[in-house]
Amino acid sequence: MAKVLVSMKIYPSDIDLDLESLKEDVKRVLPSYASVYRFEEEPIAFGLKALIAHILLPEDKSGGIEDVESSLQGLEGISQLETLMVRRTRL
- What's the pLDDT tens digit per position in 30-69? 999 999 999 999 998 888 899 999 999 998 888 889 999 9
The closest of 91, 84, 50, 53 to 71, measured between CA atoms, is 53
* Number of folded domains that form the chain: 1
What residues pair up with 7 in beta bridges, in sequence order? 54, 85
CATH number for the domain harbouring residue 46: 3.30.70.60
Domain hosting residue 30, numbered range: 3-89
Write down the pTM of the prediction. 0.91
pLDDT at 36: 96
Crossing angle, helix 64-73 and helix 19-29, to 10 degrees? 130
Distances (CA, A) of 17 to 5, 46, 59: 26, 14, 33
